[in-house]
């Protein structure tokens, strides 16, 4: 079977390996859809010093819907269709094993690529109980990649009154409207802070989500926050250390919430429920589908042509 490995920056090799077999409590899954996540991009284009190559075999894929092909777990049988989380995000291969608890059953009413969006959506659900009441609030979301767009849809679903989406790319801001944004701000065309001030009558946002992970966007998020606002830095950081405007945090008396990862047992089922029921339409996120094993092309598209795409999905029939 084939497995992908990032052997150098911007370089993917396909290696022939023996199919892994599940141990007690594990299942073997053949992916049908593997969506690339923004958190996978630094493996392809390393921006943090010290990233070592080659990366682990299969690293760079964890948003996966597939079919169980072998099981040593009491719940799962061959042929079951699942959303599955591979160990250490190493799912870029034709078959991987994972604990049975890392999987959740999926229905047949949605495509595999749509259902794969439940994995990133589940990371939002992990944070959600810690947020203040959303209904009636003004919310700003900095970054309209996959995560930012899912936040846009989820805040709309939960009744945010005014939803402001910010990004550099017109295509993504167009998708923002489809996901529920009331207003969009193209940060490449002027003063995003001033535009949010205008849109909010000077009050700024009560909740701000940063979904990029760069110093400039984290600091922008702080400047979009109104007095006593909640700020969520959710983007995967491209640098381990950088300066933030601490004075702005102090003056606005913001609450900062951090979160990451997911618990498949707790968060996969409700995320799938939102997608399968149609409560959240994730179809607009999937802009490009490539056949497995075009992994090199998928990473090049996802990292180098962001103005043209949102989510890139590798599909295997």
Can you spell out the DSSP letters for 180-248? T-SEEEEGGGS-HHHHHHHHTTT--EEEEEE-S--HHHHHHHHHHEEEEEEEEE-SPPSSS-----HHH
Q: For residue 90, what is the DSSP state? A: B
Which of 207, 240, 256 terminates a domain? The answer is 256
172 and 91, same domain (yes or no) = no
pLDDT at residue 183, as a whole number: 99
Structural domain total, the chain: 2
Residues 68 and 162 in one domain: no
Length, in residues, of the chain? 317
Q: What is the pTM of this model?
A: 0.97
**Looking at 256, 277, 302, which one is the last position of a domain?**
256
Residues in the chain with pLDDT values less than 50: none
- Whether 229 and 142 map to the same domain: the answer is yes
**Is residue 7 located within the same domain as residue 99?**
yes
What pLDDT score was predicted for residue 239? 81
The reply to whether 126 falls in a domain is: no
Measured distance CA(64)–CA(313) in Å, rounded: 9
Same domain (yes/no): 242, 305: no
Q: 180 is written with which tokens?
A: 């529920």
User: Is residue 92 one of the residues assigned to a domain?
Assistant: yes
List the CATH number of the domain containing 311.
3.90.180.10
Residue 166 located in a structural domain: yes
Predicted confidence at residue 49, as pLDDT, reads 57
> What does the alpha-carbon distance between residue 60 and residue 240 come to, in Å, rounded to a whole number?
20
Q: Which domain holds residue 186?
A: 132-256
Report which of 168, 122, 125, 121 is spatially closest to residue 149, judged by C-alpha positions: 121
Say if 127 falls within a structural domain: no
Burial profile 148-165: b = 16 or more Cβ within 10 angstroms, e = fewer: bbbbbbbbbeeebebbbb
Phi-psi region of 34 (alpha: psi -120 to 50; beta: other; left: phi over 0): beta
pLDDT number for residue 29: 99
Q: Are residues 193 and 236 in the same domain?
A: yes
Q: Does one domain contain both 79 and 97?
A: yes
Task: For residues 252 and 170, state if they share a domain.
Answer: yes
Question: Exposure string (b/e) for 40-68, b if CB count within 10 Å is 16 or more?
Answer: bbbbbebeeeeeeeebebbbbbbbbbbbb
Q: Are 253 and 227 in contact (CB under 8 A)?
A: yes
């Amino acid at each position: 079977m084939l497995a992908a490995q990032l052997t150098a920056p911007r370089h993917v090799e396909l290696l022939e390996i023996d199919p892994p077999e599940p141990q007690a409590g594990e299942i073997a899954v053949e992916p049908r859809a593997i969506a690339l996540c923004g958190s996978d991009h630094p493996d392809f284009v390393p921006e943090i010093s010290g990233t070592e190559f080659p990366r682990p075999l299969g690293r760079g894929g964890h948003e996966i819907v597939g079919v169980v092909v072998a099981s040593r777990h009491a719940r799962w049988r061959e042929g079951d269709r699942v959303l599955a989380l591979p160990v250490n995000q190493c799912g870029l291969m034709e078959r991987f094993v994972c604990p049975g608890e890392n999987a959740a059953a999926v229905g047949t009413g949605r495509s595999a690529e749509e259902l794969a969006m439940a994995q990133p959506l589940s990371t939002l659900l992990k944070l959600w109980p810690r947020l203040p009441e959303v209904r009636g609030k003004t919310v700003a979301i900095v970054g309209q990649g996959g995560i930012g767009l899912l936040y846009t849809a989820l805040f709309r679903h939960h009744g945010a009154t005014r939803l402001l989406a910010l990004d550099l790319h017109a295509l993504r801001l167009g998708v923002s409207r489809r996901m529920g944004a009331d207003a969009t701000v193209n940060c490449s065309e002027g003063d995003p802070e001033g535009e949010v001030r205008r849109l909010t009558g000077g009050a700024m946002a009560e909740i701000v989500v940063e979904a990029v992970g760069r110093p400039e966007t984290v600091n922008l998020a702080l400047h979009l926050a109104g007095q006593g606002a909640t700020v969520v830095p959710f983007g995967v950081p491209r640098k381990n250390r950088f300066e933030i405007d601490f004075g702005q945090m102090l003056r606005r008396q913001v609450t900062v919430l951090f979160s990451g990862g997911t618990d498949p047992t707790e968060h996969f089922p409700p995320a799938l429920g939102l997608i399968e029921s149609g409560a959240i339409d994730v179809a607009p996120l999937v802009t490009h589908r490539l056949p497995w094993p075009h992994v090199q092309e998928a990473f090049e598209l996802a990292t180098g042509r962001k103005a043209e795409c949102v989510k890139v999905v590798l599909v295997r029939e």
